[in-house]
Amino acid sequence: MRHSDDVPYIVIEKDSGSGLGSFLLGALVGAGMALLFAPQTGEETQEEIRARAKKLREAAEERLIEAQQELEGRMGGVREGVQTQLEKVREAVDSGREAARDARTDLESKLERSKAAYRAGISAAREAVGAGADGESEEAD
């Protein structure tokens, strides 16, 4: 059994061109109706448009000023953060230089002690060799 939804149907469309003529006719009728039913004169309408444009401009200027202030505030915070980080880096570099200076001084001191010990060892060895040579020559006599 067939339902009424299963019945084939045919759609007929009529192409009347681009529709530009209909659009222009509608625009003209709409403009005419607007002029007939407009509650204000042209001058009053222009004045209202000017007032609204002025309000929009003022609102845009206020928002621009607010955005500038917010951006300046953020930039100030960024500058402070950069300055803080820069100070930390300077302190770290200064600490590193001081540590290097201390290490160099300590190393130079140890080197001087090593040289002194080396000289003392050489001197003691020479004395021992000299004393040993004197002892052998006394035995040979």
pLDDT, one tens digit per residue, over 106-121 is 999 999 999 999 999 9
- Which residue reads 């140890």 in tokens? 110
The answer as to whether 92 is a domain residue is yes
CA dist 11 and 92 (Å) reads 84
Helix (H) or strand (E) holding 10: none
pLDDT, one tens digit per residue, over 68-102 is 999 998 998 889 999 999 999 999 999 999 999 99
The answer as to whether 12 is a domain residue is no
- Which residue reads 């530009």 in tokens? 20
* Structural domain of 131: 40-140
Binned at pLDDT 50, 70 and 90, residue 105 comes out as very high
The answer as to whether 50 is a domain residue is yes
Phi-psi region of 17 (alpha: psi -120 to 50; beta: other; left: phi over 0): left
The answer as to whether 32 is a domain residue is no
The answer as to whether 47 is a domain residue is yes
The answer as to whether 17 is a domain residue is no
Task: Specify the pLDDT at position 15.
Answer: 59
pLDDT, one tens digit per residue, over 18-60 is 666 778 788 888 877 777 677 777 788 788 878 988 998 999 9
CA dist 15 and 22 (Å) reads 13
Task: Report the domain count for the chain.
Answer: 1
The answer as to whether 100 is a domain residue is yes
- Which residue reads 């080396």 in tokens? 118
The answer as to whether 83 is a domain residue is yes
